[in-house]
Amino acid sequence: MNGVAAAVPAAPSDSAAGTAAATVDFSRNGATREMPSVDTYKNALLTNFVYPESQEKMRTALREVRARFGQKYPLVIDGREVWTDKLLPSLNPSAPDQIVGFVAEAGIPEAESAAKAARRAFQTWGRTPFEERCQLLERVAAILDRRRFELSAVEVFEVGKAWAEADGDIREAMDFCLFYAYQMRLRGNPRLTQHVPGEESYQHHWPRGVALVIAPWNFPLAILCGMVTAALVTGNTVIMKPAEPSAVLGALLMEIFEEAGVPPGVLNCLHGRGSVIGAYLVDHPDVEMIAFTGSREVGLRIWESAGKTRPGQRELKRVVCEMGGKNAIIVDSDADLDETIVDTIYSAFGYQGQKCSACSRLIVLEENYERVMQRLLAAAASLRVGNPEDPGITVGPVIDETAYRRIQEIVERGKTEATLAFQATHIPEKGYFIPPTIFTGVKPEMTLSQCEIFGPVLSVLKARDLDDAIRIANDTDYALTAGFFSRSPANIERIKAELVAGNVYVNRSCTGAVVGRHPFGGFKMSGGGTKAGDGDYLLNFLVPRVVTENIMRHGFAPEATPEYRAEFLWPPR
């Protein structure tokens, strides 16, 4: 889900639906809080690294993965390995002179071959019974579980995740497989719309066709696997483009799908530059839908380009677009600071602030401001920054040199706008390490308060009262996640109704969305309002269809009756 993953997964930011949201009744005597009618799905467990056995398995996996640094991985098109003249290196952000692996780089010819292969495979995969597609996802989940420590170790090296964050990403990928299989079984059969004498009317769904999946690097298996499995289980074929900084993990996911038995052409893996193959495939007439998670800049370009109808295009392109956030946590005057500080530090600096759901703005009511800041700065000083191969590290490197330089520039500019209240001093000299940084005296209109930084930088804003705090929190382009700490039932109910975000968290961290439990996604400039990890998410990959039959007639002509229910088949014969 952008995500979703980590020791507990991720969430989205703000939207202009504030007025409408305020009419929702969340009072305990008003809105009903019934349990879902079907509540049998169970999430996979997280690995507990307190136990020596788990630690030893992780250390062994780290040694084994390091021993295969430099391995080369191909493209996979129509079930065949494809090599090109160019190889893209994937670097270790903790030690950029180390190459984790190389992937073959696709160009336009390979992208065209993948589109053709996916189109051909769709003729069969779209007709494959949904139960077979569900079983494929369950086999993938089992392999992910079996290779859990290996994949976590690759995440430590390739994207700089701490042990628990890496394990959470694998857990979330498993959850997506099992949850979407579970949901497809609930939605796979035609549904009678009404009981009417003399008529049968059924609603069912057809897959859209070829789906292009463009994934981010920050949840390199969870989000990639989530978008791919949603497309596959609904009968679509997929062209999968992993993010360049996490290309090795994308190649390993392709290996896992092949081991699980995905048919040739149903899933195709293209590594390469988004500006080349991504742009080409977004415009391709054979691509019916695009599932994208990433930056606002790229997401808006995709949204715009997909809206143009091109020669040979048969369908209006569907776009599932999940982008970033400028997520705020509000601290009420009566908040429990024991939980507030712990959860804020985790929300702001977990995975180096590189989650789309990360807290980047802390809005504190002035009545409580001094107490909050004293505790916050003391807690920040306890963060350990370093190479995430060490199990005691809580803050690792940012993803690459480009991100490093961009965040450094924002920090330097912030020093001229606001007050640098805290910056960690003990950081490694080698690698892309940004020290956890806290600014105070930040105003709502400043760059620090409006720009998505995607790094370990927290801006603290002071609010006069709760009215002022809500206004500040809602005053951004984004609407992904938001949080609130309070012991006031009245204020909590007000926040539920007025805080503009796709995921609102009360008295807990604003990151860590769990598949099924916390459907994740935002609106405004955070996305199109879709929710990953929700049963309805699958509907984005389907087209609804209704077949109505008058059954009040005088019998059939048996020799003219077809052997199959043609109206429920896709693609049509």
CA gap 75, 237 in Å, rounded: 16
State whether residue 268 is helix, strand or coil. Answer: strand
pLDDT in tens, 110-125: 999 999 999 999 999 9
CA gap 349, 34 in Å, rounded: 35
73, β-bridge pairs:
103
CATH 3.40.309.10 positions along the chain are 327-519
Q: What is the dihedral of CA 384, 387, 390, 394, to 10 degrees?
A: 30
Q: What pTM value is reported for the model?
A: 0.91
CA gap 572, 199 in Å, rounded: 23
pLDDT of residue 41: 84
Q: Which ranges of 25-128 does DSSP label H, i.e. alpha helix?
A: 52-67, 108-125
Max Cα separation, the chain?
A: 86
CATH 3.40.605.10 positions along the chain are 58-323+527-542
Q: In whole angstroms, how far apart are CA 171 and each of 165, 174, 348, 522?
A: 10, 5, 22, 22
First-to-final CA distance of the chain:
35
* Closest C-alpha to 313, from 336, 283, 347: 283
Q: Per 3-state DSSP, what percentage of the chain is helix, strand, and coil (rounded to 5)?
A: 40, 20, 40
List 356, 359, 452, 510, catalytic entry: 356
* Closest C-alpha to 59, from 193, 167, 149, 166: 149
Strand pairing of 437-440 and 419-423? antiparallel
Q: In whole angstroms, how far apart are CA 56 and each of 52, 61, 62?
A: 6, 9, 10
Give me the sheet containing 75-77, strands edge to edge.
80-82, 75-77, 267-269, 237-241, 210-214, 289-293, 318-322
List 165, 322, 389, 452, catalytic entry: 322
| Whether residue 322 lies in the annotated active site | yes
Name the E strands within 111-193: 191-192
pLDDT string in tens for the chain (573-residue length): 444 333 333 333 333 333 333 334 444 444 445 555 556 789 999 999 999 999 999 999 999 999 999 999 999 999 999 999 999 999 999 999 999 999 999 999 999 999 999 999 999 999 999 999 999 999 999 999 999 999 999 999 999 999 999 999 999 999 999 999 999 999 999 999 999 999 999 999 999 999 999 999 999 999 999 999 999 999 999 999 999 999 999 999 999 999 999 999 999 999 999 999 999 999 999 999 999 999 999 999 999 999 999 999 999 999 999 999 999 999 999 999 999 999 999 999 999 999 999 999 999 999 999 999 999 999 999 999 999 999 999 999 999 999 999 999 999 999 999 999 999 999 999 999 999 999 999 999 999 999 999 999 999 999 999 999 999 999 999 999 999 999 999 999 999 999 999 999 999 999 999 999 999 999 999 999 999 999 899 999 999 999 999 988 766 666 655 555 544 566 665
**DSSP annotation string for 487-533:** S-HHHHHHHHHH--SSEEEESS-S--PPTTTS-B--EETTBSS--BT
Would you say domain 58-323+527-542 falls under CATH 3.30.2310.20? Answer: no
Please state which of the four CATH numbers 3.40.309.10, 3.20.20.370, 3.40.50.300, 3.30.565.10 is assigned to the domain occupying 327-519.
3.40.309.10
pLDDT of residue 20: 36
Sign of CA dihedral 486, 491, 492, 497: negative
Give me the sheet containing 359-365, strands edge to edge.
419-423, 437-440, 457-463, 359-365, 327-331, 481-485, 503-506
**DSSP annotation string for 86-105:** -EEEEEETTEEEEEEEEEEP
pLDDT of residue 19: 33
Sign of CA dihedral 249, 253, 258, 262: negative
Q: What angle do CA 356, 360, 365 make, to 5 degrees?
A: 135
254 is written with which tokens? Answer: 């392709």
| Whether residue 451 lies in the annotated active site | no
81, β-bridge pairs:
76
pLDDT in tens, 387-428: 999 999 999 999 999 999 999 999 999 999 999 999 999 999
Q: What is the DSSP letter of 47?
A: P
List Cβ neighbours of 248 (8 Å cut-off, separation of 6 or more).
71, 73, 90, 100, 101, 103, 154, 158
Q: In whole angstroms, how far apart are CA 99 and each of 60, 186, 299, 537?
A: 20, 44, 29, 36
